[in-house]
Amino acid sequence: MVSDSLKGDKTFQRVFKQGSQFGNRHFYFYYIANQDNKNHLGIIVSKKVSKKAVVRNRVRRRIREAFRLSQPELKQGYNMIIIAKNRCADASYAELAKSLSHLFYKTHLENKKRK
């Protein structure tokens, strides 16, 4: 399944106000079920992470790629917002992917069970 971007201020506000939340070392994570049969992802990387746009865009690309690769294992039909914390700027791709996988596991959005 392909995920789309989460668009519109009203949609973001609905996820923040009515959705569930979870956080770990690298991310804050908000999610809520939607009526579609696909996931919509919003990524927020603020200037608190880094003043340099190059670094913020790199973090955003890494999050998007890790999410794309984890899509087959995820339940479908959710609006999700991932907010990057400061330590994301110095983290490797492997750390970010592992942290994202941890979020999905803890929020029960993964279809597969871990061993």
pTM of the model: 0.90
Return d(Cα 105, Cα 51) in angstroms, integer. Answer: 31
CA 47 to chain centroid: 18
Pair of tokens at residue 59 = 């973090």
Q: Where are the alpha helices (DSSP H) in 8-92?
A: 9-18, 53-70
What count of Cα atoms within 13 Å lies in the side-chain half-sphere of residue 27? 28
CA 13 to chain centroid: 16
Instruction: For residue 74, list its beta bridge partners.
Output: 110
Quote the pLDDT of residue 114. 56
Quote the pLDDT of residue 92. 95
Quote the pLDDT of residue 57. 96
Domains of the chain: 4-105 (3.30.230.10)
Return d(Cα 71, Cα 54) in angstroms, integer. Answer: 26
- Give tens-digit pLDDT for 39-66: 999 999 999 999 999 999 999 999 999 9
Is the pLDDT score of 68 beyond 70?
yes
- Give tens-digit pLDDT for 5-41: 888 899 999 999 999 999 999 999 999 999 888 999 9
pLDDT band at 103 (very low <50, low <70, confident <90, very high): very high
Helix (H, G, I), strand (E, B) or coil at 38: coil
